Amino acid sequence: MPRAKKDTVCDIDLLDQLIKDAYKRGNPKETILGENGLLRQITKAVVERCLDGELEEHLGYEKGDRAPAETENRRNGHSQKVVTNEHGDELTLNVPRDRLGEFAPLLVQKHQTRLEGFDDKVIAMYARGMTTRDIQAHLKELYGTEVSPQLISNITDRVHEDAKAWQSRPLDGVYPIVWFDALVVKVRDNQRVINKSVYLALAVNTEGQKDLLGIWISENEGAKYWLGILTELKNRGVRDILIACVDGLTGMNEAIQSAFPKTWTQRCIVHMVRNSLKYVSWKDYKAVTTDLKTIYRSATEQEAQEALEAFAKKWDKQYPLISKSWRASWAQVIPMFAFPPEIRKVMYTTNAIESVNMTLRKVSRNHRIFPNDDAVHKVMFLAIQNISKKWTMPVRDWRSALTHFAIEFEGRIAV
């Protein structure tokens, strides 16, 4: 008994015959993938058949049938429409019309100039750090298609409205932890290239889920600038931040105390250690690193203070700036000692913000110089959308951490 054929959406025998005929006519790159090749012909035929089917559904009767007496609407020929397919090729479609002008096709909508799929591919490549010219070359190599830089720019500009909506979306009332950090990019500004900082606010909400609250771009920072950002967060619904983790951001501490006076400010220990080791020779690197660990891994604030004094006695002759910098930041180092080790790891290692920064640096590396701030925001926003897709699980041991937060910050957060 012969095996039954699997269900298919087309006649396989007919498709095989079309392919054989295409190969017989010459080079398959031309006869199948070329400007007038089989693939384009099939795409055009399928799309036009779908549009005809949509019109039949709209009118309520099939082509060739008599129109129902109760309807005045009729077919009214076709109009031509040029669209770009997912490979960047232009297709001239015959779009059916109705006499009353009521027909609004769904597959290729009015004013739509590209078939679904092409735009998404361009945006996906842009989100992964490819420049406009990279994308242009990639499409040329893959599909043999010339796509203008302006077309690619126009496609990626679509995300601006999404980015604006995201940047102004309502936020939660309380965030247990918010990390504030920055990375530097080069931007063309008034015919000169300058360094600008991209500022990020990454939070953990009460469910233990990570959430990037916003992206801001500026040449300068200071208390007034940071107060503006914190005020924006308040206007979007944030009433309270329990702990703000920061590192060396000018004016940040003053701004936090003004906008959220009850918030604890925690200095990023990873950055503290990294900055300390800048002064250390290679032969002392391992020993200094080990001695710094005894400070921030102490069980209590008192023990940490004693470890810092021991460190100073041992290393001040060679590296006096290290203990000096830790003492200067001590008020922002010690908040973590109010919590058990598992919560400290969440607070001070800043793995989350470091991971975000690493990805953003990677996608921005190809853009050696951004043409303007909008281009920076566009790239960063798209990259963040990709990163956040991986944030599916809450922070490890979050329920335990939340209980400690509820005890330490009584009345400010619910368990």
Domain definitions of the chain by residue range: 1-114, 117-157, 172-408
- Give all strands (DSSP E) within 73-206, no chain letters: 75-84, 90-98, 174-189, 192-204
pTM (2 d.p.): 0.65
Identify the three-state secondary structure at position 90. strand
Q: How many helices (H) and strands (E) does the chain have?
A: 18, 7
Q: What is the dihedral of CA 101, 102, 105, 110, to 10 degrees?
A: 60
Q: Is 242 exposed, middle or buried, given 0-12, 13-18 or 19+ CB atoms closer than 10 A?
A: buried
Distance CA 189, CA 193 (A): 6
- For position 302, what pLDDT does the model report? 93
**Nearest 10 degrees: Cα torsion 243, 248, 251, 254:** 30
Task: Give me the pLDDT at residue 372, please.
Answer: 84
pLDDT for the residue 88: 59
Q: Give the separation between CA 233 and CA 238, rounded to whole angstroms.
A: 6
Kind and range of the H or E run holding 242: strand 240-246
Give the 3-state DSSP-derived string for 199-238, with helices as H, strands as E and coil as C. Answer: EEEEEECCCCCEEEEEEEEECCCCHHHHHHHHHHHHHCCC
Q: What pLDDT tens digit does each residue of the chain (415 aa) get?
A: 334 344 444 555 655 666 677 667 777 666 665 666 666 676 666 667 667 777 777 787 777 777 776 777 888 888 888 777 655 567 788 888 888 888 877 666 676 666 555 566 666 666 666 677 777 776 666 555 566 777 667 666 667 778 888 999 999 999 999 988 888 889 988 888 999 988 999 999 999 899 999 999 988 788 888 999 999 999 999 999 999 988 778 888 889 999 999 999 888 887 888 889 988 999 999 999 999 999 988 989 999 999 999 999 999 999 999 999 999 989 888 888 888 776 777 675 556 677 787 888 877 777 778 888 888 888 888 888 888 888 888 887 788 888 888 888 888 987 7
Residue 123 confidence (pLDDT)? 65
Alpha-carbon distance of 223 to 256, in angstroms, equals 9
3-class DSSP state of 251: coil
pLDDT of residue 40: 65
User: What letter does residue 372 receive in the DSSP assignment?
Assistant: S
Query: Comparing C-alpha atoms, which of 129, 131, 128, 204 is closest to residue 172?
Result: 204
Q: What are 47's two structure tokens? A: 């799309």
Distance CA 345, CA 363 (A): 27
CB-based burial label for 415 (10 Å; 0-12, 13-18, 19+): exposed
pLDDT of residue 66: 74
User: What type of residue sits at position 66?
Assistant: R
Residue 34, both tokens:
């070329």
- Reported as type and span, the H/E element at residue 159 is helix 159-167
For position 312, what pLDDT does the model report? 95
pLDDT at 3: 40
pLDDT value at residue 170? 95
